[in-house]
Chain A
Amino acid sequence: AIQMTQSPSSLSAYVGDRVSITCRASQDIRNELGWYQQKPGSAPKLLIYAASTLQSGVPSRFSGSGSGTDFTLTISSLQPADIGTYYCLQEYNYPWTFGQGTKVEI
């Protein structure tokens, strides 16, 4: 199975800061990666698919980049609503695998 290594495991930043989360795949997954946000007690929410395509309705401060093995989720200006845990997910082959998660705090 493809291993997804996500970092950092947690981060704390100020409102307005630029924040980045990375995911590294154990093999080339082209651009078949998504980013999800999860708030406590709720289901995950799709933010980015195909590594860099913003899901409809997601604020433009979220962006994704990368291909092959290295991927980044960036929040250009951190907002209080952005607190939660972020996961990457590779959909290149089965079994799909998630990163370990990054908890974002203000």
Chain B
Amino acid sequence: VQLVQSGGGLVQPGGSLRLSCAASGFTFRRFWMHWVRQVPGKGLLWVARISSDGSGTTYADSVKGRFTISRDNARDTLFLQMNSLRAEDTGVYYCARDPGGVLQFADALDYWGQGARLTVSS
């Protein structure tokens, strides 16, 4: 199982950026996926999740209406489109797989990407 992320960078406030997470080594279309953010030197914040077929999404209140999680099951890739970026969105973003309902009954985040750093600053 591998999750390889790309797309981080430096963006001005109000700008946009899209993160990608390419999956391999497992049947991507079967699993729910999540994004988690880590503020430098601080803790972890759950950001968003998407169902296996992409029909269901949920967001943290802090990103609702600005971020969009999506997936392309034909390309085994997860996305996070981030618009109207703010300084407080700065951090390292991780994609993660949820084995719940597929490999086990319970939800969890069993495999993580390597992280993509986003800096929002003028």
Chain A residues in the interface with B (C-beta under 8 A): 1, 31-32, 34, 36, 38, 43-46, 49-50, 53, 55, 87, 89, 91, 94-101
Contact = CB atoms under 8 A, between A and B. Distances in A.
Nearest to A6: B43
A95 B61 contact: yes
Interface of B: 34, 36, 43-46, 49, 58-61, 94, 96, 100, 104-110, 112-115
Where chain A touches its partner, the secondary structure class is loop
Contacts, number: 66
B110 A46 contact: yes
A89 B45 CA distance: 10
Given A50-B106, A95-B60, A95-B61, A87 B43 contact: yes
A94 B69 CA distance: 15
A15 B114 CA distance: 29
